[in-house]
Structure 1
Amino acid sequence: MAKKKKQKLPGAKSLIAVLIILLVFGMGYWWYKLSEPDFVRYDAFGIEIPSNFSIHGIDVSKYQQRINWGAVKEMEVEDVKIGFAFIKATEGLGRVDAHFARNWEKSRDAGITRGAYHFFLAPKNGALQAENFIRTVELMPGDLPPVLDVEQTYGVSAEKLRAEVKAFLETVETHYGIRPIIYTNVDFYNKYLKGDFDQYPLWVAHYLQKDRPRITRNWAFWQYSETGNVNGIRGKVDFNVFNGDSSDFEDLLID
């Protein structure tokens, strides 16, 4: 009698493939979870702060009124202190923030690394907006690069928005000799700026959810909360972290 051939288990190769896929996805998930920042509650700051970062900062404008920069500098809770501040300087073609001059001077006097930003109005000429910023802001060695805050279209086309943003950035870079930083939120960047401005350092706004900014490109700063408290400042203030160590931070500053 002929011997029966040994039958292979049905679907063995498929089963192995499924197991491999599950293993890969499982490893990817745990890598993602491990790479997420841990948030720790600091009652003195009034918010939860991501502990995976060592350099913390704030951004301010006239809405924070008269700031005691010495008190801001002196505040330190466990391992968290304010190491940098972005300060609103200008808006549109001719507006200057009412508290900029004082904030700009006093933050430096207090020993806080400072940066200045311009609030962009998309319907207005980008180069002329840059001139408003240049007239107002004198950058010095040790300052952060200039920042363009662009987060609204005001009804203009995406093409016009990008053209005016480009004009602003190029004018500012030519004057100061350093590449500006772009500030915006994840959705706005992906919809209007992605692909055309990826070479610029990014300061990205993304809060309410406890994870890193959901953006595929690299980023330098992350604004993760708008409800923080800091000694020397009345009312709420935005909190940020720098994505790097002290050496990376120094490399970003103006020589």
Structure 2
Amino acid sequence: MDWRYVRAFGIRLPMRYGIHGIDVSRHNDRINWKDVRQMEAEGVRLQFVFVKATEGATMSDKHFDKNWREAKKSNLRRGAYHFYHPTRDPIKQAKNFIRRVELSSGDFAPVVDFEVTNGQSDETIIEGLRLWLQTIEAHYNVRPIIYTNGNLYKRYIKGNLDDYPLWIADYSTKHLRAYDPDQLYLWQHSQNGWVKGIKGQVDFNVFVMDENRMQEICL
């Protein structure tokens, strides 16, 4: 892996990949999207952003509407994600997302952000996720993306939900051999980046497939 420290972003980037992006939520507060769009350093320009839309059965991110609109205006490919709670009704969670998020051609498929188990059984978690994914796919007519970390992937996703595109958060790894190469599209490799126009640290991601396969996870 060809890593290079890029001072403006404050982190090392895996330079073998050409498409870099970030994800944001209300934790990043108000964002100056003009600054984000204009930022370029050592040949790296941000090309996509995932924006938190909803959480659980009723919550929505207070900055979603503005971030969603501004991301489009900024010519960044955009995606929306839902933070999944295994203790909440998966259909209600899917409907919460559907109520808030209208997708256009070129946007990423919806993302389920799965990073807490809340003490639920394996069966409850896997079946709940499956219901969320199926409900979302039926509505938007595109296969949703699963975002998770390495431990949860091994325990719940692998062997159960292998048909879905994968976005993995893995900060320790120098390679991605632990994941299905046919399904791994996105890699969140750092939580500690810096971007002009955004307060605090930012998650950095890369698209790991051949660039011409981006369309497979978009509308």
Would the TM-score normalized by the shorter structure come out above 0.5?
yes
Partner of 2:203: 238
- Identical pairs, percent: 45
Would you say the 8 A contact 1:123–1:154 is kept in 2? yes
Which letter does structure 2 place at the counterpart of 1:181?
Answer: I
Alignment coverage as a number of residue pairs: 217
TM-score normalised by length of structure 1: 0.83
Partner of 1:22: none
TM-score normalised by length of structure 2: 0.96
Secondary structure in structure 2 of the residue aligned to 1:220:
strand
**Partners of 1:174 and 1:148 in 2: how far apart?**
15
Structure 1 residues 84 and 239: alpha-carbon distance in aligned structure 2, compared to 1, 3 A threshold: same
Is 1:183–2:147 an aligned residue pair? yes
2:106 to 142, 150, 158: 142
Partner of 1:121: 85
Would you say the 8 A contact 1:67–1:233 is kept in 2? yes
Give the alignment of 1:1-255 within 5 angstroms: 37-209=1-173, 211-218=174-181, 219-254=184-219
Q: Which has the higher contact order (CA 8 A, sep 6+)?
A: 2
Q: Deviations over 1:75-128 (max 9, x none)?
A: 111221110001000000000001101000000011100000000000111111
Q: Which has the higher helix share?
A: 1
**Partners of 1:250 and 1:193 in 2: how far apart?**
23
Alignment RMSD:
1.0
Could you list the runs of 5+ residues in structure 1 that have no partner in the other structure?
Answer: 1-36
Q: Which has the higher strand share?
A: 2
Name which one, 1 or 2, has greater alpha-carbon Rg.
1
Secondary structure in structure 2 of the residue aligned to 1:163:
helix
